[in-house]
Structure 1
Amino acid sequence: MDAQTRLEIQNLTEQQQQYVIQTLPAKEKSLSSAYIFWVLFGAHYFYLHKPFKNIFLWLLCCIYIGVIWWVFDLFRMKSLVADCNREIAKQVIHDAILLYPKPQKVHGETIDAEFEESKKEEKA
């Protein structure tokens, strides 16, 4: 998890933070797996959620230009995985915000507080 993602998580509610902390590690991509896909199948872009780029790489390999690109990716793999994980983190944070929205404030009080007060008045 990079520093920017940590800052974004700090701005979330506690419930949203818990969701992100629990979900993000399961969805993040590992550098070692990306290298395995790179070596065995040349399918590292599929693993990093970029299938069209991988198909284009395979097509270029037919005329040997793709081989140069494939070798170049060996040295870029760390940044490729970091970029993919950054996108995954943005999506998980977005999902957390949608699943657990912040309580809205009305005249300095939250709507939830007004709802609780109305329930107490109904019971009385």
Structure 2
Amino acid sequence: MDAQTRVEIQNLTEQQQMYVIQTLPAKEKTVSTAYIFWVLFGAHYFYLNRPFKNLILWVLSYIYIGFIWWFYDLFRMQRLVAECNREIARQVIHDAILLYPKPQKLHSETIDAEYKEAG
């Protein structure tokens, strides 16, 4: 979990925070697994939720450009995984907000508060 995600979690309600903390680790991707997909199948983009990119990589491999791209990904795998995990965190936070909306004041509570202030 990166620093930006931690800051966003602090702005959530307690229920929303618990949902994110429980759900996020199960959905996050790991660098080691991404490397395994990179080595064995050249399918690391499938693992990182980018299937179209992986198909383009495979097509370009027939004219050898894909192999250069594939090798370049070896050095940027940590960044690719971090970007993927950031998108996953955004989605989980969004889901938490939808599942557990913040309670809103009822109209009568607002009127009561204004009446007490005026009185």
TM-score, normalized by length of structure 1? Answer: 0.86
Deviations 1:22-41 (A, max 9, x none): 00000000000000000000
Equivalent position amino acid for 2:39 in 1: V
Equivalent pairs counted in the alignment come to 110
- C-alpha distance in 1, partners of 2:14/2:31? 30
- Distance, in Å, in 2 between the alignment partners of 1:100 and 1:106 is 17
* Alignment correspondent of 2:117: none
One-letter amino acid of the structure 1 residue matched with residue 63 of structure 2: I
CA drift at 1:108: 9.3
CA 1:75–1:109 in 2, change beyond 3 Å: closer, same or farther? farther
The corresponding residue for 1:5 is: 5
Q: 1:3 to 1:59 in 2, by over 3 A?
A: same
User: What is aligned with 1:87?
Assistant: 87
- 1:16 alignment partner in structure 2: 16
User: 1:105 aligns to what SS in structure 2?
Assistant: coil
Matches within 5 A, 1:52-71: 52-71=52-71
Distance between the aligned counterparts of 1:109 and 1:84, measured in 2? 43
- Alignment partner, residue 98 of structure 1: 98
| Matching residue of 2:114 | none
- Tell me: CA distance 1:108–1:18, structure 2 relative to 1, closer, same or farther (3 Å): farther
- CA distance in 2 between counterparts of 1:56 and 1:90 reads 26
- 1:65 maps to a residue whose letter is I
| Unmatched tracts of structure 1, length 5 or more | 111-124
Hey, what's the Cα distance between the residues in 1 that align with 2:66 and 2:109? 60
Alignment root-mean-square deviation, CA: 1.4
